[in-house]
Amino acid sequence: MLGSVSGAATLSELIEIRSGVELPVIREEIVLRTEDGLELVGELAMPVGGQPEATLITLHPLPTHGGFMDSHILRKASNRLPELANIAVLRFNTRGTSSPRGLSQGSFGEGVSEQLDLEAAVRFAKERGLPNLWLVGWSFGTELALKYGVNQDVVGAILLSPPLHRTSDDELLRWQGSDKKIVALIPEHDDYLKPAEAKHRFGMISHIDLIGVDGAKHLWVGESATTRVLNEIVRVVSPQSYPLPTHWQNV
């Protein structure tokens, strides 16, 4: 499907960047095809002005607990970052997951068969020639990034609220031997892994950038939490666009 330009701002209107704001972006509905024959629905959000400088391949929270490609941080990344930071954002529903975009084929694989979903997303991005691929996982999505991302052709991984329920110590150790970058944002009041415990669990990865976020919770609720997450992503992926502006004006 050909991409379409969307965005609510009008010419010369100064927009405060808040929760519901969608800045100009080229959106394309996509289908990812896995090695085991499934079709996964998704979307690629591209900058209106041309080729992106970097690409986020996003991995959503646990689908059995409401996670999907439209989980709010990922949706807001696609609404803002193509325009504000010249970053492409690829979102998709893992197998068996539904959203307004549609239902991906297959059924939830407990984080095992989803390896093929991650691989399909990276393969799609490479076939499209998208540059500087980064995995951005949130909660369950961090498990997929940690378990399977180290062998992928990506620059690195950014982890939002990693619970470390499914990732073994052996899988973490594989990152220690890798030159891939790894950044983890740990909410102060996380339900599963708080900053002090994260420092211990991730201690075997000497080059990890661990960022404790005061006042934040696992779901990153509220505009201040969203702004912090998106700024940290941009700081790592596209530092020349950091910090993100609080207002936008079409010129």
Helix (H) or strand (E) holding 237: helix 223-237
CATH architecture group of domain 24-241: 3-Layer(aba) Sandwich (3.40)
The Cα–Cα gap between 134 and 154 comes to 6
* pLDDT of amino acid 219: 98
Going from N- to C-terminal start, the domains of the chain cover: 24-241
Q: pLDDT tens digits for 171-184? A: 999 999 899 999 99
* pLDDT of amino acid 3: 74
Whether residue 140 contacts residue 111, with contact meaning beta carbons closer than 8 Å, is answered with yes
The Cα–Cα gap between 20 and 67 comes to 19
Which tokens is 118 given? 């991650």
* pLDDT of amino acid 250: 83
Give residue 1's Cα distance to chain centre.
22
* pLDDT of amino acid 50: 84
Low-confidence ranges of the chain (pLDDT < 50): 1
* pLDDT of amino acid 194: 98
169-176 helix and 140-148 helix, angle to the nearest 10 degrees:
60
